[in-house]
A and B are shown apart, each in its own frame.
Chain A
């Protein structure tokens, strides 16, 4: 029982809740963590799902923001995935609001969410090549032609 990731999550100290972005779920345990957060902690709405391209560590970090409609402090937790093969389990089954936001993270960061019902690009067109919010997406345009970083 104590080996379940959800149980460890509940055992975390209240200070950890306040500094909530430190909560980090392993990708394999993400659905279990999400179920605990939703069912046992009462966070019944996913308000935001963002991603950060951590080029130094070679990872992409996906951050989930959840709130409880009954009130109380919001919670955020995150999961990391290698940026070469960015895959995470989808949380659409847990929070339906994740559907469009996971599509956005897939569109701009290239994170593939396993189990997503309709994982397509959402902002850019289907034929587009690349994920423009990744930090190694080419810096572009005439602004940089005169020599990068000379100012």
Chain B
């Protein structure tokens, strides 16, 4: 780095940077969230905007009432199946670049209502999620950390690589309809009652939103919650009939007998 000429220039009021860095600095410093909440997480979201935690320090205090003016959708709370079409429609109405924070256990996976008849099992089945904030509900600090994580993601974006500054057109995400056995897209039930989600989650949206291509539930035995890494590693043992304690001991020793 040519620091010496740069410092000399700065003494005369000339600053050198890259367009990408300046652009990302401006975008990440003015992330306007969409002003809507679905459940108790919304209370924590409001607290995050208040003086004690103060989302305004990070430029994200402008909760917009219209999706046309919003950059960030904070899915704060339980997404019921009746509300899911509206959430997707709001997301489709947001101009790009747009980001999604899934706040709390319910928005991330359905939470305690995952096995109910009325709650969507994770908003990432329908729209891409940039940052997941765990908690039930997360504290305001957790949401703030989620926002800072999102800012770090925005900082890492390259203007010549992101889709919305290229020629590729934006694509609306399909809005589900209310079918006889749950949510449906194009007449196909995607989240059947008494079954498993038939969609894979949308992942890696900051690169380009795409589906993992894998169903969330292959044939292997699944436990609740799905987000727990230990559970993921323990289930093959249980499928083979190994006692839970033995499997747990092996996990403690760090053994991997896959």
Chain A residues packing against B (C-beta within 8 Å) = 123-125, 127-130, 132, 137-147
Contacts and interface: CB of A to CB of B under 8 A. Distances in A.
A142 B178 contact: no
B211 interface: no
Contacts of A141: 114-116, 121, 196
Given A140-B117, A145-B221, A125 B193 contact: no
Contact of A129 (B115, B180, B222): B180
A124 B118 contact: yes
A129 B221 contact: no
Contacts of B180: 127-129
Closest 4 CB pairs of A and B: A141-B115, A138-B194, A140-B194, A125-B178
A56 to B, nearest CB: 23
A142 B196 contact: yes
B148 interface: no
Contacts of A123: 82, 118
A146 B82 contact: no
Contacts of A137: 117
> Which of the four size classes fits the interface of chain B?
20 to 34
B173 interface: no
Contact of A142 (B115, B179, B181, B193): B115
A128 B222 CA distance: 27
B5 interface: no
Given A127-B178, A128-B178, A130-B193, A142 B217 contact: yes
A145 B82 contact: no
